[in-house]
Amino acid sequence: MREQMGFKNLVVKDGLEMRGLTNLYAPGHGNPAGRAAVDAVKAGNDVVLLPSDLDGAFHGLVDAVKKGEIPQSRIDASVKRILELKASLGLHKARLVDLEQAPYLVSKQEDMQFAQQVADDAVTLVRDNGKTLPLPKLRPFVTESETQAPQKPAPQVVAIIVTDSVHGSWGRAFENALKARRPDASVFYVDNNLAAPLTPLILQSVKDASSVVVAAYAAPTAGKQIMVEGKLVNSVSLEPATGALLAQVLDLAAAKTTVVAMGSPYLAMDFGSIQTYICTYSNAPSSELSAVKVLFGEIQPRGKLPVTLPGVAPRGTSLPGVAVSSGGNGNR
């Protein structure tokens, strides 16, 4: 970033507590948190976030500087960039902010429009079996000539929203956007507590449906680690019951099911039978709307997969969607 792209500003590491990183360091060869912090700084990061062992990370960096593994000048350069960024925001003059004003400062129309454009551009179609997209909208009206001909019933759409808690806000914007286009869609919210009890009803609905959408909110959450069969599962995996439900849905109807990863793109690595797969890399309301727009062919997916998903797709994957015209909202 600095040498080839000429980037001059602050580089911040993602959460160091993720087991995908700490598992790289074998036990008995130094504190894993300390070694991860040292490697992160050596890789060019100015700030390291959420080490699993704060004391270990701190002392690991101090020891690395004392041994000459990391030059003192390297630390000084990072400190300078941090201080320059704080100064650019006026934090050297006023360290406190009015939290009540924050929603207004980040909700300006031009900012929201920009956020929506970023979300639209990020959506990536990773897999497409050519059978599910775009979803058909309901016709808002029929012409006089059409009323004289027998009408085909609207294809039934079932949406399953998988979240950590059905009482949270995840999925609400997705449902609103979906229902604006398909008021007749059946929407199920499931979390780890409700997945098993709702499985029979959901599977029957999936069996009867023409199209199925699973919006899986598998977002990285600091400190979220799940014990499965005596092992800690990655924090971005689905929990056991919701994972089992998704597996059953795919076993029953993979060909007509679109899975939308509202967060981590790695979800598909646990479900190799996914045939149509969309990634948003975010669970923000703007990303929820973007996902629905891609589902209905209102925008083309333009994102590129930023990582390799072993057994699923290589880095850079970017499949074209099937866009429909503004008037093409009839039933297929």
**pLDDT for the residue 130:** 95
> Which residue type occupies 95?
R
Residue 62: closest CA among 73, 52, 75: 75
Burial of residue 167 (number of CB atoms within 10 Å: 0-12, 13-18, 19+): exposed
Residue 155: its pLDDT value, please? 67
Q: Is 22 exposed, middle or buried (0-12, 13-18, 19+ CB in 10 A)?
A: middle
Q: Could you tell me if 211 and 254 are in contact, meaning their C-beta atoms sit under 8 angstroms apart?
A: no
Contact 276, 257 (CB under 8 A): yes
- The span from the CA of 23 to the CA of 4, in Å, is 30
pLDDT at 226: 53
- pLDDT score recorded for residue 237: 74
- pLDDT tens, residue order, the chain (332 aa): 888 888 989 999 877 776 666 677 777 777 888 888 999 999 999 999 888 889 999 999 999 999 999 999 999 999 999 999 999 989 888 888 888 988 888 888 999 999 999 999 999 999 999 999 999 998 665 555 555 655 555 569 999 999 999 999 999 999 999 999 999 999 999 999 999 999 999 999 999 999 999 999 987 654 455 555 555 444 557 889 999 999 999 999 999 999 999 999 999 999 999 999 999 999 999 999 999 999 999 999 999 999 999 999 999 999 998 766 554 444 44
pLDDT at 261 (0 to 100):
97
| 44, 19 contact by CB (below 8 A) | no
Task: Give me the domains of the chain, ranges plus CATH numbers.
Answer: 12-88 (no CATH), 117-295 (3.40.50.1700)
Predicted local confidence at residue 325, as pLDDT:
53
- The size of the chain, in residues, is 332
Strand runs labelled E in the chain: 12-15, 47-49, 124-127, 157-162, 186-190, 211-216, 226-228, 231-233, 257-261, 276-279
* Residue 2 exposed, middle or buried by CB count within 10 Å (0-12, 13-18, 19+): exposed
The per-residue pLDDT for 330 is 43
Q: What integer pLDDT is reported at residue 145 of this predicted model?
A: 58
> Encoding tokens for residue 183?
């008021």
pLDDT at 16: 77
